């Protein structure tokens, strides 16, 4: 029997909730203006690549905090591929526990599904009008952004920081889109799931303290 319990992890609901002394949340609570990078994803599961990207974005001074916005599902992904959203959210919370400038958000859990990013952004802007919200995404997601519902509204109101992904992607010259200098990380959630299906190790792809949790949940 594993010595951990996914269900025991306390949830952080951003922006309406706070947890502990997380400076990302306390600053928002005090009404201080923050530049928040929103990292949207299903995080199925979260992995070292996600964490490395958030770290680089913060260390380069592109934002004051990074919120991992866990999507219950995606208009572009099969729901059958996804682990239960609450378990994915708990995994994200565990992965971010020791990173003070990162926090998890389940803001989309009580919204209409499938999750549309422009609606989430509206909700966050309304909840925290003093803050500035930018989006962190990979080249692969930007390449298909024209298929997103009301993508023009997103581009008009938010800066988008784009990190490199494997493959050949056409560079966009849209307003508010900035390509950031990050190393190419050849890792993905789908790669981890495939390795688990084959019984292969995932120790180099996820935080060490989460290996057994992820093996159990995705077996």
Domain membership flag for residue 194: no
Q: What is the pLDDT of residue 34?
A: 94
What pLDDT shows up at residue 169?
86
The CATH number of whichever domain residue 96 belongs to comes to 3.40.50.620
d(CA 156, CA 175): 8
The pLDDT mean for the chain works out to: 86
212 lies in some domain: no
Query: Containing domain of residue 146, as a range?
Result: 12-188
- Among residues 8, 10, 43, the alpha carbon closest in space to that of 207 is found at 43
**Range with the lowest mean pLDDT among 54-63, 101-110, 179-188?**
179-188
* Residue 40: count of CB within 10 angstroms of its CB: 21
The mean per-residue pLDDT over the stretch 27-45 comes to 82
40, pLDDT greater than 80: yes
21 found inside a domain: yes
Token readout for 170 is 């056409």
Is 28 a domain residue? yes
Is residue 10 over pLDDT 60?
Answer: no
Residue 19 has pLDDT above 60, yes or no: no
pLDDT in tens, 139-163: 999 999 999 999 999 999 999 999 9
Under 8 Å between Cβ of 18 and 64:
no
In a domain, 219, yes or no: no
Q: Residue for token digits 């919370």?
A: 93
Please check whether residue 91 lies inside any domain of the structure: yes
Q: What's the number of domains the chain is made of?
A: 1
pLDDT of 86-125, one tens digit each? 999 999 999 999 999 999 999 999 999 888 999 999 999 9
Please report whether residue 204 resides in a domain: no
Please give the biggest Cα pair distance in the chain: 53
Q: Flag whether 80 is in a domain.
A: yes
Between 85-96 and 48-59, two packed helices, what is the crossing angle to 10 degrees?
A: 50
pTM for the full predicted model: 0.85
pLDDT greater than 90 at residue 197:
yes
């Amino acid at each position: 029997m594993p010595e951990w319990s996914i269900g025991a992890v306390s949830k952080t609901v951003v922006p309406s909730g706070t947890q502990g002394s997380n400076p990302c949340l306390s600053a928002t609570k005090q009404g201080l203006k923050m530049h928040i990078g929103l990292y949207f994803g299903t995080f199925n599961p979260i992995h070292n690549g996600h964490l490395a990207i958030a770290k680089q974005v913060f260390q380069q001074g592109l934002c004051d905090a990074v919120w991992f916005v866990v999507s219950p599902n995606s208009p572009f992904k099969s729901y059958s591929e996804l682990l239960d959203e609450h378990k994915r959210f708990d995994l994200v919370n565990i992965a971010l526990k020791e990173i003070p400038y990162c926090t998890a958000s389940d803001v989309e859990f009580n919204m209409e599904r499938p999750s549309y990013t422009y609606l989430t952004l509206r909700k966050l802007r309304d909840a925290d009008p003093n803050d500035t919200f930018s989006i962190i995404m990979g080249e692969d997601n930007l390449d298909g952004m024209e298929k997103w519902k009301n993508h023009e509204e997103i581009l008009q109101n938010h800066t988008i920081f784009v990190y490199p992904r494997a493959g050949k992607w056409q560079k966009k010259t849209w307003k508010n889109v900035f390509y950031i200098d990050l190393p190419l990380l050849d890792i993905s959630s789908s790669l981890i799931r495939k390795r688990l299906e084959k019984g292969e190790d995932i120790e180099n792809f996820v935080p060490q303290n989460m290996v057994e949790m992820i093996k159990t949940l995705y077996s």
